[in-house]
Structure 1
Amino acid sequence: MASSNLPAAKAFSAPRPRAPQRSNRDIARDFLDLHFRLEGGTNLPVFTRFERPIRLRVVGNPSAGFQRDLSQLLQRFKREAGIDIQRVNSGPVEITVQAVSSRAIHRALPKAACFVVPNVDSLAELRRKRRSPDTDWSRLRSRERLAVFVPNDISPQETRDCLHEELAQAIGPLNDLYRLSDSVFNDDNVHTVLTGFDMLVLRATYAPELRTGMSRSEVAAILPGLLSRLNPAGNSIASRALPATPRSWINAIETALGPGSGFSSRKRAANQAVVLAQELGWSDHRRAYSHYVLGRMIQAHEPELAQRHFQTALDFLRQTPGSDLHQAVIRPRMAAYLIARGDGEAALQQINPALPVASRFENAALLATSLLIKAEALDLLGQFATANTVRLDSLGWARYGFGPDWAVKAKIREVADLRPSPN
């Protein structure tokens, strides 16, 4: 194998999760909807969790950086959520993490990057039990053993993101909710590592007041006192309960972002999401996300219109507490437009706020992209030495965020190609 001429992948140090900044009343509602409903809308009759210490084993061929990221995540489960979980190399286990190729995962579940299944410990067993009620989450009444399948041929960040989301679902809630702006339990994929809210949900999940088999009403009766104990600050925060997300908007977003549809169908669905968000009277992160998705889709062909959609998204997010990361995701696309116009100063002002946010939320792909765009802006301003330093700094983060050399170099070319052609 040829050696890389790029720097080694960088890694984030200690996690810096923020405590949830929301009312316990709202968090209780979220907890119930996360635990008692599946993504497709099916209601679950009972609460489930592991009722004994969790042993976890890794099989397959995990990718570089996997071991470090898994160890850090297990430490967070112990420290922040109080969950008794440990990694073992032999003997019976509650959770098996199998590292396999992306192709093997797509053969098992075509639309999934990674996934978790109850009552199996390998893809081979999953194939044998494909139509068995054992693998149906809606029939689950207790958690005994399950398997998490993660790809070993994607970037370190993507693998880490899979570990965070799938292990959290393996031991905790099974649902995702678009109304959650501060959680990985949200299909918008803005948050990629478990947040303070997520850890509070997991800590509550394993609190002694709860047990497997409880009904929704039984859990609901206990939650106010439980959350007061675990999150006393949430008692003094006013409720800002967001309305439920209708299936029509979810379907429009899924069509816009999903495979299997042509560009015109996806663009039509993105426009429909914007219209629905407006008709519903939303002004939260979901309204912003609708504009962001549409802007991202049309940016190559209608850059001016895309820029207006991005600006509209930012305008809504500025009214939304705790939306720093959502704003940071949009800023590189807006700065790219300014680079293409040759406006280095405006691009610099647009991209600089994204850098500390990307770092705080451990998003190396976003950080690397933002640094590369900053370097281009500095080049436009004639600050070539500083630009080279910033560009060099981006490479280690790009190795973690995008993976192999070819992917890093492709991102570098993509950003460099933004430069306006010389007259």
Structure 2
Amino acid sequence: MRRGGTAIGRSSRALVALCALTLGACALMEPPVDPVLKPVARPAERRPAPAPIIVAQPTSQESAALRSYLNEVQRAQLSQGLLRRDGGGTDAPFTSAMLARNFEQIAFFNEYDGSFSGRGGASPMRRWESPVRMQIIFGAGVPPSQRARDSANIATYAARLGRVTGHPVAVANNPNFVVIVASEDDRAAALSEAVARVPGISASSLEPLARMRRDTYCVVAAYAAGSGANVYTAAVAVIRAENPELLRLSCIHEELAQGMGLANDSPEARPSIFNDDDEFALLTRHDELLLKMLYDDRLRPGLSADEARPTVRAIASELLDTGPV
């Protein structure tokens, strides 16, 4: 979950499109041979119905103010050298011991409780066993250009998650992982659509996602159903459409990776997107290694941190000894 920033100003915008079309036609007639006593009636003109007048609904003041605020957040973070896209370099080295420690903090603890109102606690390791089928739901107000960019970014990133984890992940029909990109004005409708599309989730389970705090840019909730209490069967990520482009992309990277099972953040994790300091915007090599560890066959859902620790340390050592992913 990404958070931060301070409130900035308000703005609003409205787009009004008016279309009207009137066509006239007149028949050409040969002059009569004999005089006529009354004019020859012209064929009735065939006029198409006027095109409908389309008036786009204006963005609410709340959504417009949120967009302005988030744009200012991105500008401020970039000016401070945050939201890095380099994946981490020589200024952010890490050892196998650091990698194992960070994995334990991120994979065996929850960032928030079930209502997203408080910090979570220790948790067994959780991940997917079935293929992850992602599908995007856009809010009605998201423009086509933004939809195209976000669709391409999500599809590319889903394929990357599949390569890194070795677990099937792709954008597909019959989804079990819905990614919502919606504004404050249309998030409720998008959440209702997610309930209709994904078996195993209900309107009540998504209620916390409908009440996002103003400083929450995006969030994900993953669900386990049936006998496998630690095996994910459904997930819903919500990304504010008001986010500017880089913040929106950073949300895609963090929330979709967290929805794979890396549910927590750690202030010690670096270089990493699983850190509330927002130093890194996009998935790093360190984070790819965490995902690879999560889906290693030597670990299984339900393990505690204590049970998994020797194996986690062995895997971390192997990964750094064999070079980059």
1:109 matched to which residue of 2? 212
SS in 1 for 2:128: coil
Deviation (angstroms), 1:75:
2.8
Gaps of 5+ in 1: 3-14, 121-133, 135-139, 235-423
1:57 matched to which residue of 2? 135
Query: How far apart, CA to CA, are the structure 2 residues paired with 1:158 and 1:16?
Result: 15
Deviation (angstroms), 1:112:
1.7
Query: How far apart, CA to CA, are the structure 1 residues paired with 2:120 and 2:239?
Result: 25
Contact 2:137/2:178 (<8 A) preserved = yes
Contact 1:48/1:141 (<8 A) preserved = yes
Query: How far apart, CA to CA, are the structure 1 residues paired with 2:291 and 2:233?
Result: 17
Higher relative contact order (CA 8 A, sep 6+): 2
CA offset digits 1:330-384 (Å, max 9, x no partner): xxxxxxxxxxxxxxxxxxxxxxxxxxxxxxxxxxxxxxxxxxxxxxxxxxxxxxx
Query: How far apart, CA to CA, are the structure 2 residues paired with 1:51 and 1:27?
Result: 24
2:125 matched to which residue of 1? 47
Code of the aligned partner of 1:68: A
Contact 1:113/1:151 (<8 A) preserved = yes
Judged with a 3 Å threshold, the aligned counterparts in structure 2 of structure 1 residues 177 and 104 are, in CA distance, closer, same or farther, namely farther
Judged with a 3 Å threshold, the aligned counterparts in structure 2 of structure 1 residues 113 and 155 are, in CA distance, closer, same or farther, namely same
CA offset digits 1:174-208 (Å, max 9, x no partner): 11111223101011111111111111101110111
RMSD of aligned C-alpha atoms?
2.8
SS in 1 for 2:220: strand
Query: How far apart, CA to CA, are the structure 2 residues paired with 1:60 and 1:112?
Result: 18
Query: How far apart, CA to CA, are the structure 2 residues paired with 1:210 and 1:98?
Result: 31
Matches within 5 A, 1:201-240: 201-232=290-321
SS in 1 for 2:274: coil
Say if 2:97 is the partner of 1:35: no
Say if 2:267 is the partner of 1:185: no
1:83 matched to which residue of 2? 167
Contact 1:116/1:149 (<8 A) preserved = yes
* Identical-pair percentage: 23
Query: How far apart, CA to CA, are the structure 2 residues paired with 1:143 and 1:46?
Result: 12
Deviation (angstroms), 1:16:
6.0
1:96 matched to which residue of 2? 178
Matches within 5 A, 1:63-78: 63-64=146-147, 65-78=149-162
Matches within 5 A, 1:361-376: none
Aligned partner of 2:247 among 147, 151, 158: 158
Query: How far apart, CA to CA, are the structure 1 residues paired with 2:87 and 2:162?
Result: 15
Matches within 5 A, 1:234-383: none
Code of the aligned partner of 1:109: M
Gaps of 5+ in 2: 1-14, 17-84, 112-117, 188-208
Judged with a 3 Å threshold, the aligned counterparts in structure 2 of structure 1 residues 44 and 174 are, in CA distance, closer, same or farther, namely same
Query: How far apart, CA to CA, are the structure 2 residues paired with 1:229 and 1:18?
Result: 20
Deviation (angstroms), 1:227:
1.8
2:71 matched to which residue of 1? none
Contact 1:51/1:211 (<8 A) preserved = no
Contact 2:87/2:271 (<8 A) preserved = no
Deviation (angstroms), 1:170:
0.4
Code of the aligned partner of 1:112: T
SS in 2 for 1:80: helix
Code of the aligned partner of 2:176: E
Query: How far apart, CA to CA, are the structure 1 residues paired with 2:88 and 2:243?
Result: 28
Contact 2:88/2:271 (<8 A) preserved = no
Count of matched residue pairs: 203
Query: How far apart, CA to CA, are the structure 2 residues paired with 1:217 and 1:154?
Result: 39
Code of the aligned partner of 2:223: N
1:173 matched to which residue of 2? 262
1:260 matched to which residue of 2? none
